[in-house]
Amino acid sequence: MTSRKFNPLLLAAALAVVPCACREEPQVRQYQAPKSDPRETTQPAPSSTPTVTTPAVTTETPTPPMQAPPLGAVIESIPADSPITYAPPEGWRMHAPSGMRVATLSAGPEDLAAVSTVVPLAGPAGGLYSNVNRWRGQVGLPPLGEEAIDTSAHRIEIDGSQGYYFDLIGSERAILGVIVTRGDTTWFIKIDGPSPIVTQEKDRFEALARSIRFK
């Protein structure tokens, strides 16, 4: 019987083949994501409450209709204790003094009259420029600088004292005003009311202002 010699190389080759036969080759699986249909894109559900756009609200204050201020009772003569005397224009009504007014007169229709007043205040009473611009604002005119106010002023003499006279005519309301200083007192003489009536009574107002005498 023929004996076979042990060959170590053949044993090594056999051992190398065994693990290769037992190991499975990993399988690579590929997945392809389905393409989305743009028509199937989810849209937000419409709101059940409609959107309401609120328009911008302006805060302009409407100009109230002009009304004659409350006046005192009609009087026939100047009160004896009045600090001034004057000649009331023909057709004007004199009213009892009230408050700071030492004289009050009215012209035009009683329900929409132009009212003329004489008011004395101590000291400069705010000054010429601030008072003129206050009057301008009341009739709807823009304020002016000091130089422009000086230029717009007319000179008028009241019982020997020089006064400054302003005619301020707005679209609906007008003021004719005189500011004159006597000693430590500033006197305000004016007529205020609807523009047509104030304009119509301008000459009579100027005559009234010139007729004033201080006691």
Would you call 83 exposed, middle or buried from its count of C-beta atoms within 10 A (0-12, 13-18, 19+)? middle
CATH class of residue range 74-214: alpha beta
For residue 29, pLDDT over 60 is answered with: no
User: pTM for this structure?
Assistant: 0.69
Q: What is the per-residue pLDDT for 71?
A: 87
Segment among 4-8, 81-85, 190-194, 208-212 with least mean pLDDT: 4-8
Cβ contact 180:147 at 8 Å:
no
Task: Using alpha carbons, select from 180, 60, 193 the residue that is nearest to residue 118.
Answer: 180
- Band of the pLDDT at 14, cuts 50, 70, 90? very low
Domain boundaries, the chain: 74-214
pLDDT tens per residue across span 108-135: 998 899 999 999 999 999 999 999 999 9
Distance CA 80, CA 181 (A): 23
